[in-house]
Chain A
Amino acid sequence: MANFRSIYKVQVFLTILIHLTLALYEDQVGKFDWKRSFVGKVKYVSLEARRIIVATEENVLASLSMNTGDIQWRQLLEDPNDYQIELLQVDKEILTVSGSHNTWLVRTWEINSGTLLSEWPLNTDQNIPSKFTVFEKKLYHIIPVTASHVEVTVYPLYDVNANQRKGILRKITAPWIKDSSECVVANSYFICLESNQLYFLNLLKDNADFQSRPLDSLLGSSLAKTVLIELNHDTPSVLLVQNNIAKLATIVENNISVKPFDLMPNAVKFKENEHIYQLEANDNRDKLIRVKAKDFQTGKDVFSVDLDYPIGLGAPIILGGQSIGLVTKLFLTTTDNALLLVHLPEGKILWTREEALSSIIATEFFELPISELDASIEHEFDGDSDIISMFTHRITTQINQLYSLLSGGQSRKNGVMVRDEFGLHKIIVVATRAGKLFAIDTLSGSIAWSYRLPNIQPFLSTDKKEEMLLLVQRTAKYYPLPAQCVLLAQDSITGLGVVFQFDPITGQSTKGIQRLNYKIVQAVLLPYPNKNLLKPFLVVSDTLEVHLFPKDSISQLKEHFSTTFLYIADPKRDSLNGYSLKYSTEDSLKLTPIWEVNFQPSNLVDVSAKPINEIVHSQGKVLYDRSVYYKYVNPNLLAVATVTPDPNHRSVVSVYLIDGVTGLILHSASHRRAKGPIHLVHSENWLVYTYFNDRFRRMEVSAVELYEGHLQSNSTVFSSFAVSQLPDIQTQSYILPAMPLKMTVTLTERGVTNKFLLIALTNGAVIEIPWLLLQPRFTGMPCGPEESCIPYMPEIPIHSETTINYNQTLSRISGIEVAPARLESTCHVLVHGLDIFYTRVAPSKTFDLLKEDFDYRLIVLVLVGSIVATFVTKRLAARKALKRAWKIFHKKDIDKKIEVMRICCIGIVK
């Protein structure tokens, strides 16, 4: 939360800051932002009266509405990488057991609101995967100790003082046991399958031992691999799966027996219902999935229903269900993590949730194509038509354009998405961990299309970060050529490369999924478009072979062999290697190593290059003596962060700036007694990074800025080889009174707008901090508003007003993506994680757009008023002038008369 004390401290500078920080107005809420919430891949489910309680692999407990699938409440437990929910039991209240290895937390929750009712820890000495079950208000914790015994600890659940809760431990010898993966819990029995023997143990009896039956006597043959699957039933029962055929084994009075009928391995049963449900593939192309209900005792088909299964979803499995009278509801999940609720007997899908979106790996923003109407004007010179038809064609299209303009916008016409004037309407293509691509409309947040790629998974990059690559080969600018994008990932089984080319606007792919026969270590988009305006890309395999896609664009590349450089970060060897294509020929592309930086014994944590589409508008900074200090803008610069374990300083964080072409280390800095998480933001001529200072136990953020000096070496082209002197480097560090999760910087079309850092914090807020606040101050330079410089403050103030997502807390943020709009002031922002939040930020306010509270009525009123006033005054003035003229005339007239009279009088006197 915002640190109010720091606000107090910088109150003096608040006046300056007001121009830099800008908050939303309350009435802007939801005008251009939207949020979607997810729960993740569901692990356990329980269907209740009007809600569905789910526990997911994201370590989330949530309640979904039965009718709509909306999240009613959601509780996030600890980090899912370390802790997992292992038990979900819903009775009057919800009971969860979550944790890992030997520390567990047993929690009970209120069902309506999700409030915590009780919590107690459960610690064991054994650090082994274990199982939990609840039976007759007692919690059973079963730990199989390899080749020794099974420990069963029974804890009373209710009516116990939390401090006096003690488990009753019982050890049962089981020298045959290996691990818990071969065992299941079926009702009150613990059943294991080990070396063709089926062992089962009654948990309820205090002195019971394992009993065993050879598998041959149950199934007839034991040659094929058999797998145990648990089945929920009052009679303890399991499924024995062999060669994809399941047999039902039940335990009655300590005797196990197998039912004589076959089942599918996905067969499921749930309480208060006597049917077994299973899903089968269907030949009908419209209804791909069939639900079959079988009788538990006889195995006879009771009924079967064909489902209206949506196309594009993966293969489903039943997670849970509920029967009330004739109506049965089945809760399904799919291989691409979608959730469905099926209503039987109609076989209708009540709702679908795309939970794959809870784990976005890669994103890319796409401009929409121009509308068909605008495009049709391009057809004017298409055929060999004569002048008259060309003329009529032009006139009709222009009339149509005028008509659509007058009838109010064409961006939503016929549901087709077309480009708007300011580039505010875009499409976001996201690739998810489940291997599903989605296109999301920025205006509404709705899914425009989705595409499932079976058996793909992300690469593992430095610091175990998951990565997929989305490369934009062609944007929608080049009508009539469609936009083209390519996704690079790896096969989930073999780890070989997967290339998928598609049109990001429609989601259609001409080539389909291409599976490569090598692993991908690096891929790079080349800036040389071929004759189809398609940018080719290079893929480097693990044996350092280079492959060009598409192959025919070699003619464009061959001119640039000597100026094409690549780098590969190797997280295993903690090294950074630079390669050149210099010695390649047209027939064989060859990587020549030119430099290597080995960081060992440090661990390579992060490598950050600048955004490719970034434009540096201002070439220098004006100093107080009005001289220009030129920026060192090196597009090839890489920022590298490493963490070194150190006996004296615990761990040391080092940051390097390395030229990606020559391998020259331009700058390095290290922080002793510091540790991660490290976040790098690299833009223009500066780098910002955060680390945790272990000595003072606080987050710190450092800024590095590079300058060429008072002279610019080459104002047009930058060359990494033309090094005359190292850049002048300014650094400064600050305290960040919050824990950052992710950090990025805003990006605008021309780079004129100020830069803002966007920082996602652990408290669920995404805040914006102006770069000006972090920019290293020049020593001896006066600081004031004139120099657009804020005096140095050791602690960066975090105001609640700078939260771009206001009170919409975002959970487990895994990335912030930015893209420029065509409006210079505006930048698209997509924050993803367990929630997806999209908004637009304008770091220098929307200076190129009229404010939304601009009063059109007033200006029209004033204008009309002025015109009316002009005419009225004109008339009035004219009348006045006329009156005056008459007055003068009368005066003259009288004067004349007097003169005449005087003459007359004189005459008379004479």
Chain B
Amino acid sequence: MNFYLKLFLSLAFFLSVHADISVEEEYGSGRYVIEGRVFPLSDYQTGNLNNWQATTRVHVNGGEFIGFVKKDGSFAIHNIPSGSYVIEVLHSEYTFEPVRVEINSKGKFRARKVNNIQTSLINQVPYPLKIKALGKTRYFQIREQWRATDLLFNPMIMMMLLPVLLIMVLPRLMNDPETKKDLEQIQKMTKFEVPQVSEVVSNFLASNTVQSPAKDSNKKGQKPRKRPVTKE
């Protein structure tokens, strides 16, 4: 996630229009203006969003005061009494970092990064605000891509491949007399205790050797798949 973010940041090519430094205005009623400028990602990143100004809003303290973005990306929020405010730039496609702006009773402005955990930590940012898009907002999970290994490790493919393996490879193994002997031994040792699958395998292997009729009846209740193999 973070990696992607950095990638976006490094790729981001910002509009290099310089913000004209505006003078802090003071009104008779002790109300101030918060000013700043929004920088979207460059056009080749934004694609068809040529009208981003109309859909961008600036919220002060979650909508207590509202600012709108002009054509050049600048915004001014009027009638704000002194205090501490969180400025958020909202756009449905882009993420912007919120900024805290403090206006003291004398009308001095200070802007800093929002830090909810260490509230006293001051990480100052320039005022008038220059708010840049961090990147495109990711709302969606990405569907997993098709990969050959996925197909291979698909349980159903495994299910198909295993019998093939059993048919093709095991008869080869059986031709080796030593393994044959070993298997026979295993079979004798684990006549009744063996779990089903190994029994099936060993029965299949044993089918080429002598078979007692008793064992045959023992296997009747088992999976039919092995029957063509065991049938003599």
Query: Which of A's residues lie within 8 Å of B, judged by CB?
Result: 1-4, 7-8, 11, 14, 22-27, 73, 75-79, 103, 105, 107, 110, 113-121, 123, 163, 696-698, 735, 737, 739, 761-764, 794-795, 800-801, 803, 806-809, 853, 858-859, 862, 865-866, 869-870, 873-874, 876-878, 881, 884-885
Contact = CB atoms under 8 A, between A and B. Distances in A.
A71 to B, nearest CB: 13
28 contacts: A1-B89, A1-B137, A3-B98, A4-B95, A4-B97, A25-B142, A25-B143, A26-B140, A26-B143, A76-B57, A79-B63, A110-B71, A113-B54, A115-B68, A115-B70, A115-B71, A119-B68, A119-B78, A121-B78, A123-B79, A696-B119, A763-B59, A795-B117, A807-B93, A862-B157, A862-B159, A862-B160, A865-B160
Contacts of B79: 103, 105, 121, 123
Contacts of A800: 95, 137-139
Given A800-B137, A803-B139, A807-B139, A859 B156 contact: yes
B217 interface: no
Nearest to A26: B140
Given A8-B2, A75-B68, A873 B228 contact: yes
Contact of A77 (B66, B97, B140, B157): B66
A14 B1 contact: yes
B174 interface: no
A73 B116 CA distance: 35
Contacts of A107: 68
Contacts of B90: 1, 763-764, 809
Interface string B56-73: 010101111110111100
B97 to A, nearest CB: 7
A754 B116 CA distance: 28
Given A76-B66, A739-B63, 13 more contacts: A3-B98, A26-B143, A77-B66, A110-B71, A116-B68, A117-B70, A119-B76, A119-B78, A123-B27, A762-B62, A801-B138, A865-B160, A873-B167
A831 B142 CA distance: 26
Contacts of A807: 92-93, 137, 139
A73 B163 CA distance: 63
B68 A801 contact: no
B96 interface: yes
A166 to B, nearest CB: 12
A858 B163 CA distance: 18
A887 to B, nearest CB: 12
Pick the most buried of B78, B157, B160, B164: most chain A CB atoms within 10 A of its CB: B78
Nearest to A116: B68
A116 B117 contact: no
Interface in B97-129: 97-98, 114, 116-117, 119
B54 A73 contact: yes
Contacts of B28: 123
B82 interface: no
Nearest to B140: A26
Contacts of B1: 7-8, 11, 14
Nearest to A876: B167
B31 interface: yes
A762 B88 CA distance: 10
A802 B109 CA distance: 35
B53 interface: yes
B231 interface: yes
B187 interface: no
Contact of A866 (B114, B116, B160): B160
A25 B138 CA distance: 11
Interface string B163-177: 110010000000000
A78 B25 CA distance: 22
B225 interface: yes
Contact of B88 (A110, A116, A763): A763
Contact of A115 (B29, B54, B157, B231): B54
Contacts of A4: 2, 5, 95, 97, 134
Contact of B63 (A26, A117, A762, A853): A762
Contacts of B117: 735, 794-795
Contact of A116 (B31, B69, B98, B225): B69
Interface residues of B, number: 62
Contacts of B159: 862, 866
A160 to B, nearest CB: 16
Given A11-B2, A14-B1, A25-B140, A873 B54 contact: no
What are the 7 A-B residue pairs with the smallest beta carbon separation, nearest first? A739-B62, A762-B62, A116-B68, A874-B228, A806-B139, A121-B78, A26-B140
A870 B138 contact: no
B209 interface: no
A853 to B, nearest CB: 7
Nearest to A77: B66
A1 B143 contact: no
B160 A698 contact: no
B62 A78 contact: no
The majority secondary structure among interface residues of chain A is: mixed
B35 to A, nearest CB: 11
Nearest to B52: A115
Contacts of A27: 143
Contact of A869 (B54, B62, B68, B160): B160
Given A105-B79, A119-B76, A869 B163 contact: yes
A118 B116 CA distance: 34
A600 to B, nearest CB: 29
B232 interface: yes
A801 B160 contact: no
A21 to B, nearest CB: 10
Contacts of A870: 225
Nearest to B139: A806
B133 to A, nearest CB: 10
A862 B59 contact: no
Contact of B78 (A1, A76, A105, A881): A105
Contact of B141 (A76, A801, A803, A809): A801
A678 B115 CA distance: 22
Contacts of B48: none
B74 to A, nearest CB: 10
A877 B229 contact: yes
Contacts of B157: 862
B141 A22 contact: yes
B54 A114 contact: yes
Contacts of A77: 66
A107 to B, nearest CB: 8
B84 interface: yes
B51 interface: yes
Nearest to A163: B25
Contacts of A761: 62
A873 B2 contact: no
B163 to A, nearest CB: 7
B95 A2 contact: yes
Nearest to B155: A862
B229 A1 contact: no
Contacts of B142: 25-26
Nearest to B74: A116
Contacts of B97: 1, 4
Contact of B231 (A121, A878, A884): A878
Contact of B228 (A7, A23, A120, A878): A878
B156 A697 contact: no
Contacts of B78: 105, 119-121
A698 B116 contact: yes
B31 A123 contact: yes
B78 to A, nearest CB: 4
Nearest to B22: A163
Contacts of A114: 54
Contacts of A3: 98
Interface in B167-224: 167, 208
A858 B139 contact: no
Contacts of B59: 762-763
Contacts of A120: 78
B95 A697 contact: no
A213 B143 CA distance: 77
